[in-house]
Amino acid sequence: MDIARDTLQGWARTLALDLVGVASLDGYRDVEPQWNPLSILPTAKSVVVFGRSIPRSYFRGIEEGTLWMRVDRYLPPRPGYYLCRSLEDNGFLAVPCSPLAPERWPDGLPAEPGKPAPNVTPDIALAAQLAGLGEIGWNGAFLTPQFGPRQALGMLFTEAAIEPDEPFPSGRLCRREACLACARACPAGALSTTPSQRRAGTQTLSVGTFRQEACRLCVNGAWPDTSCDQAPPNRLAAACTRACIACLEDGGIVKTAYKAPFRRREAWSFNTFEG
């Protein structure tokens, strides 16, 4: 290996990151070029995904209906920049990725036939599952054993060979059809209770689908996606994801040291045009 895992972990700690994992490019063999890191860096050998926990208090105010705020799903550029600097200081090209809404692209014409159009946008949640950090839940939120949905993510691609993690097994955190707390929590009924299928490397995941026209009008904690007005909203603090936080914590699936439960009374909700 070109970079030791202990070295990568040390760099992550200096940047106050709580999570770091490495995905093998083997998981991208069947991913279309428009969404594939190899379209950005054809010589890449590793996809590095990193994250920082989001304080529970960011969600508690929305849970109580007393403080309304956006909870960012993605990290700002600084951690990716400095991780790339560390890799390049060791002689290996590294490219940070800004995860913007895929609905924003393509934004131009392919340079030649057979090439993807600008801009290529790899799925950060897929990368994080391939990097062993956690799994994509029924409502699309990314869940980890440490924090449930309470983390912001970033990623980069590098020519450095770094020992990869095993992809996280689907169903360890999200019980999917056996739970559906997220779907039941949506007052607009925007999230389906019948599954659709998506791939994560060699795994097939059961996930729900959204009626996007209803989801974009959510008044129960969602926030408009600021990168594209046609994209689904940021649902990280919406009723569906807050129900997931309560479910994972109350069920002991995500262990916490908090002295009080996340959900302390019946959840509030508005119908779409009541808020």
Any domain includes 267: no
What pTM was computed for the model? 0.95
Q: Omega into 119 within 30° of 0, i.e. cis?
A: yes
Asked if residue 180 belongs to a domain, the reply is yes
Q: What is the CA radius of gyration of the chain?
A: 19
Instruction: Evaluate whether residue 23 is within a structural domain.
Output: yes
Does residue 270 belong to any structural domain of this protein?
no
User: For position 50, what pLDDT does the model report?
Assistant: 98
| Spatial separation of the C-alpha atoms in residues 141 and 24, rounded to whole Å | 22
CA 5 to chain centre: 22
Residue 258 lies in a domain: no
Q: Stretch 41-64: mean pLDDT, rounded?
A: 96
What is the residue range of 79's domain? 5-250
The predicted pLDDT at position 226 comes to: 85
In a domain, 261, yes or no: no
Read off the pLDDT of residues 141-176 as tens digits, 9 standing for 90 and up.
Answer: 999 999 999 999 999 999 999 999 999 999 999 999
Percent of the chain whose predicted confidence (pLDDT) is above 70: 99
pLDDT digits (tens, 9 = 90+) for 56-89: 999 999 999 888 888 999 999 999 999 999 999 9
Question: Is residue 46 situated within a structural domain?
Answer: yes
For residue 178, CA distances in Å to 107, 148, 171, 174 come to 40, 17, 10, 9
Decide if 268 is inside a domain: no
- Residue 274 pLDDT greater than 70, yes or no: no
What pLDDT score was predicted for residue 275? 53
Structurally, the chain folds into a number of domains equal to 1
